[in-house]
Every structure is written in structure tokens, then in C-alpha cells.
Amino acid sequence: EAGNSSADFSKTKDFYLPAIGSNDQIVRHRRYALRYREQYEQADWVAYKLTGDEARAYLSRDGNKFVPDPLVKTGSATHADYTRSGYDRGHLAPAGDFNTSPDDKQETFYMSNISPQVGDFNRGIWNDLEQKFRQWAERDEELYVVTGPILKPGLPTIGKYNEIAVPEMYYKIALCLTDDQPRMIGFLMKNEFSNENLKTFVVSVDEIERLTGIDFFPRIPDALEKKLESSTTTKGWFSARN
């Protein structure tokens, strides 16, 4: 559509990926891409498009195995690094977002997409947020999603073979371009149990950029990017009912 600037920038390949530096280790799987940080043995972002079809589909996780990522040149963490660590193998790109193909779903079990999460967090409020994103994808037919841990020196580590940083916080960002007006929303959550309302975790994407040093959605025209990334509105995301 001529008047819709979103239609133009979103046609460029990889437009939804964060800014990439020349030394970054970028890993591209079929349905998602990530930046692997060897120093922390995990990704600091994973990015993908979530469609309504995927959000509506269901596939069992039976038979899915956590495996090292063969595309990580420096070697990813291993399944055994997490064993008896007290932490869940927490998906960054959730398996439940890739339910239209068993191969796509299995790709979310690469250890490059896994981060040490507190069990009550991973299976609780974080899972609630993942489900909320799927509801939005069903409603809006298409979301661009970026998720990751906040990585910084000095975090505690787990791992028999690799030192995997245990993040204190995680973020999740959604961009919707199917409405008349582009919308963006960011969430920041502590790696701990919570029974708060999801809305209490909404922050500006600017805030997430400040904490991570990552430049999200750099291909959005500057004025629009500035407007979207400074916003903390839940308008157009949460309905009055929830």
C-alpha cells in the first residue's frame, strides 16, 4: 500500500533482525536467527516472524531432544551443562511458536536457543508471556518477535563443560505491522517467580536497548523507530478485558 511506510521497510530481507556488528556470531536456522555470545554460552537475541498459523497449530514435544548447535563455530553449551544445575533449560524462541513443522520445532532445542531459567519463572510468568504473544499472533496474523537475556560480566555461572551465565533478567519485544499503524511493545522480567499481571512488565524498547546495548529494528525509518521504541503504551495489545 502506497501510504503505508511499514510495507516498504518490512520487505527488505532480515529487516526484523537487530543491528549486526562485523565480529558478531550470527546463526541462522530455518525459522529463526540468533546472535551467539560465546563468553556467556547463549544467545543475547533470537529473532523471528510468528504467524497466526503457527500460533494456532499444535505439535507434541515428545521426541524433541536438546542438542548442541552445529552452526555455532565456537561450540554451544551442551545438555549436560544444565543437568542438576537447579535451572531449567529455558527456550528463548519457544518450541510452541514453531508448530507447523516437526523439523522447525526441533530446531528450537538447539542449546544456542537455551538459557538457564528458574523453574517457577520458566513454567510460570514467562510461559504466560509466550502464550500472550501467540494470542496476539492469532489475532494480528503476524508478529515480529525478539527475545533474549540481559547478559553482562559478573553473572553467576553453571555448567560442567561450559560456563553458562545465569541471567538476572529477560526481555521480549513484539512488532506488529498488520494494523493501520505499526505497534511495538517491550517486556522486561526478572528470572524469578512472579504472579503479577503481565502489564506490569511493560517497558519501552529504549529501556531494553539501554540494558543490552542492542539496537533493535534498525531498518525502521528513524522517526518511526524513535516513536515506537520510546513508547510504553499497551494500547492495541491488551484489550480492556485482560
Residue entry with cell 523439523: 103
Grid cell, residue 219, equals 531498518
CA–CA separation, 149 vs 165, rounded Å? 10
29 is catalytic: no
Grid cell, residue 228, equals 515506537
Report DSSP letters for 41-60, one per residue: TEEEEEEEEEEHHHHH----
Look at strands 183-190 and 202-203 and give their pairing: antiparallel
Report DSSP letters for 51-88, one per residue: EHHHHH-----TT---B--TT-TT----HHHHTTSSSE
83 burial type by CB count under 10 A (0-12 exposed, 13-18 middle, 19+ buried): exposed
Q: Which of 29, 35, 91, 134 is catalytic?
A: 91
Q: CB-based contacts of 189: which residues, under 8 Å, 6+ apart?
A: 121, 125, 126, 129, 169, 170, 171, 172, 201
Question: How far is CA 191 from its chain centroid?
Answer: 15
Grid cell, residue 236, equals 492495541
Q: Which of 74, 86, 85, 150 has the alpha carbon at shortest distance from 112?
A: 74
Catalytic positions, written as ranges: 91
